[in-house]
Structure 1
Amino acid sequence: MRGCSLEAYIEEPGLTEGQRRRLRLFQTVEEAVSRRVERLCTSSEIEVTDAAILVVSPAARRAFFRIDARGSAEAPGASVIVDHRARLHEFLHAVLPPVDEAPFDPYVDLLAPSPPQCVRVLIVDEDSLTVLNYGAFVVVNLDRREMPKA
């Protein structure tokens, strides 16, 4: 049994093929994302619930990074940005602003902290955006001054 794995979630019957495709894209960077979240939260004042991840498929890369693909091959794999959720919200509005007719801010989920021990993940491909809360991160800061002397 796969339990609570991402793979088991991908097989849920209510997901669209696009959602499955975006979740599979996330699987390709899942391990690296976990390491980067750990580094971000241990080397800065950012709490896990305030960390956010943007995963951009190779096909959507041009829209985000203004890449001119003439004469160059697409880089394989996804692009990943890990930062504070508020800065990621600003970045998304700057590079891919919502259309005026949009009924709501598509990045609004970034304005609220993630559930405890989770990070917010936005996965973008050429068709759409999938948002999820991911992980069970626990960051422990050890202060040697408070540790017992041996």
Structure 2
Amino acid sequence: MNLVLLSSIVAICMAVGAMFIRLKAAKKPATLKKIILPPFFMSTGALMYIFPEFRLTPAEMLEAIGVGLFFSIFLIKTSKFEVRGQDIYLKRSKAFVFILIGLLVVRIVFKTYLSQSLDLGQLSGMFFLLAFAMIVSWRISMYRSFTRLQKEMEKEDGFYNEKDMKLT
């Protein structure tokens, strides 16, 4: 089986999993830990760059980061928080599912096109960096929105104390 096709199938499975996780997560209050930890867990994937076949040129790095930052705009625009009772929840967004599907389609098209000129290792390295840049910028935006809302709640109602503001 073609490795590009196989990696695209894996990406589809991961996207479907992400959609279910996102929909399930909207039922529980958001926390700083839930916002910050995913990029840290994903960062372990950067160990792939130890191996020469995954290494990128500076131009490829800039392209991947630039596209990742551009794609993050769509995730940032559809990730809003709301206060329910004394907790902060991530609002459910119908657009999020469509954006995730759209990003997946764009990813598959890019991967199919770029696989003609780049080897699989470089392509994997580029798509990891693209995804990492996208997720880190999205989560930074979520962190800022969450802490802003937390501070507003603290000022208005005193719901959150200093202990709640910590990551632990």
Q: TM-score, normalised by structure 1?
A: 0.30
Give the number of the structure whose residues are more often helix, by fraction: 2
What is the TM-score with the length of structure 2 in the denominator? 0.28
Counting strand residues as a fraction of each chain, which structure ranks higher? 1
Larger RCO, structures 1/2 (Cα 8 Å, 6+ apart): 2
